[in-house]
A and B are shown apart, each in its own frame.
Chain A
Amino acid sequence: MLSRVIHARGLARTFRKRKEEVHAVVGVDLDVSAGEIVGFLGPNGAGKTTTLRMLTTLLEPTAGTATVAGCDLRTDPVGVRRRIGYVSQSGSTAPEARAGEEVVDHARLYGMSTAEATERGKQLFSELDLDGLWERQPKAMSGGQRRRLDIAVGLIHVPELVFLDEPTTGLDPQARANLWDHIRALREERGTTVFLTTHYLDEADALCDRILVIDHGSIVAEGTPDQLKSQVGGDVLTVTAERPEEAAEVARLVGALPGAEPPQLVETRVIGRVPHGGRALVELVRALDAAGLAVSGIESRRPSLDDVFLGLTGRSLRESGGAPAPAPEEVPA
């Protein structure tokens, strides 16, 4: 058994907003071993960021206990801060500063000397493909370069554990794939433990050894990407109704297929699970024809992590990104 880098039990956080209590995180148990890359997945408002902010000492838990990198979160937050790196969604550098100076100043807050920080910073720049950008202002960098600069800032003090909050949000596909390589290299070359939040399932699938799914403030599933996918049996049938008012009727027909589970309705899309996709498809087309219902798309496929997610939370991750629910963690207390 590898040593545990994060060990949390019953971690909870309640915000008081006016007189109302918002239970953003209601009791999270989680364990992360040294050298793991763990993905923390959930729709907006599920409690991802609140949990992350508790584990990085930015928020105090209202209940529960946790040790992070060997230090108790409540009694030794400074010890935790010394040992972890945190790359937040909002970045870490002033747009008009110089990249290298921001990295060095950050390192100095960990007690490193300017000379030591400069040497380590330049080495990180070259590892993260930021060669020649030491004097560049962050505002003159591309989105991908700025993200890698944030990672350099987060890693400058050689933390054993690094938290990445939605590291690839807003990056183009090429920059994302490139960043994934860098995150993998962190673990391979230095044995750094990585805890990252994402709402991209392909990211979790491609990058993570293990996935934790959080919804409504608690962990609803946990496992390797393959384990989670195997929880969804059969095939997934997706039917898009042409007219929104007919979507419910289409859903009824999908649910009536032999062996089908009750389908989910996401806008005009009906997503159902059936034991055998090919056979169900033929039957469904006949039934739709007989009922005179028009559909603009129909497909049968093997389950993906998104289906796991939909089954667990009743929401599609892809939808939740487009229409964010009010996230309690984003409301200033």
Chain B
Amino acid sequence: MPTLLRDTYTVFARAMRMSLRNPAWLLISLMQPILYIVLFGPLLEPLAAQLGPGNAYQIFVPGILVQLGMFGALFVGFGLIAEWRAGVIESQRVTPASRTALLLGRVLRDVVVLLTQGVLLVLVAIPLGLRAPVAGVALTLLVVALLGAALAAVSYALALTLKSEDAFAPLLNAVVFPIVLLSGILLPMTLAPGWLQAVSDVNPFKHIVEATREFFIGGYGTANAWWGVALTVLLAVLGWLFGVRRFRRESS
């Protein structure tokens, strides 16, 4: 166990250092969620009454946080493909380091980045009119962290299998766009016709978004909230198992 922790820290610190050393990347990844809040949020203000309880930002910010967790995490595999091409992955795999640590260290970096972006996003929304309980925001960020960790693990596992940006990008786009559109992130699915609602009901991310909206208006004990948390935990376990299995397998 101490080796796992030590190796994880080494991999994490290296990954973090590489991220921080790329100021352009840092700026772009921080700007994106802020642009959503500042440029899209105001459009929802006049519609808030039709969208459900709470003001526009109580509905919009949790959705954008979940979207941040999905996009931010699913695309991390691109970095791994670059590392693989430079030989870094293989040279780490001939060391006695724990295979799990090679994945966990990178995923932790992604979670730290996600949480930083998430906190910033919430802070920017406050002057625009966001009012939400601190506990609700914290719970939402926890959900985003868990979700982000699972999806980052999946992204790394897929990247390590495909080893090509040209194969990875279309796969991600094919999966991510329907999921985002059917998750009610930008507008609640209650506005949708019956058939569309039925389709979106099988999308776990829709339920997770609904749960985080409950958190933002202080609803912690509702069925929606529990469903969202249960699905997050389930996705986290599945995603993590998938990632670890791929990292433990021999490299080929």
Residues in chain A within 8 A of chain B (CB atoms): 15, 56-60, 78, 81-82, 84, 86, 88-97, 101, 105-106, 108-111, 150, 153-154, 332-333
Contact = CB atoms under 8 A, between A and B. Distances in A.
Given A15-B252, A93-B86, A332-B163, 9 more contacts: A58-B93, A78-B96, A82-B96, A95-B86, A96-B22, A108-B6, A111-B3, A150-B91, A153-B91
Closest A-B pairs by Cβ, 3 of them: A92-B91, A90-B87, A91-B87
23 contacts: A56-B94, A57-B94, A58-B90, A58-B93, A59-B250, A81-B94, A81-B96, A86-B91, A88-B90, A91-B88, A92-B88, A92-B91, A94-B83, A94-B86, A94-B88, A97-B14, A105-B13, A106-B91, A106-B95, A108-B10, A109-B97, A111-B3, A154-B91
A88 B91 contact: yes
Given A58-B251, A97-B18, A109 B86 contact: no
Most buried by A among B7, B18, B94, B96: B94
Contacts of A105: 10, 13-14
A243 B14 CA distance: 59
A252 to B, nearest CB: 46
Interface in B160-184: 161, 163
B245 interface: no
B250 to A, nearest CB: 5
A150 B91 CA distance: 9
A332 B96 contact: no
A150 B18 CA distance: 19
B21 A90 contact: no
Contacts of B11: 109
Contacts of B17: 101
Nearest to B84: A90
Given A59-B250, A94-B86, A95-B86, A86 B22 contact: no
A322 B10 CA distance: 41
Contacts of B96: 78, 81-82, 109-111
A91 B7 contact: no
Contact of A110 (B88, B95, B250): B95
Nearest to A157: B95
Interface of B: 3, 6-7, 10-11, 13-14, 17-18, 21-22, 82-83, 85-88, 90-97, 161, 163, 250-252
A160 to B, nearest CB: 15
**Dominant secondary structure of chain A at its interface with chain B:** loop
A111 B97 CA distance: 9
A108 B92 CA distance: 11
Nearest to A153: B91
A106 B102 CA distance: 12
Contact of B90 (A60, A90, A108, A109): A90
Nearest to B85: A90
B99 to A, nearest CB: 10
Contacts of B250: 58-60
Contacts of A86: 91, 94
A271 to B, nearest CB: 37
Nearest to A78: B96
A93 B88 contact: yes
B88 to A, nearest CB: 6
Contacts of A153: 91
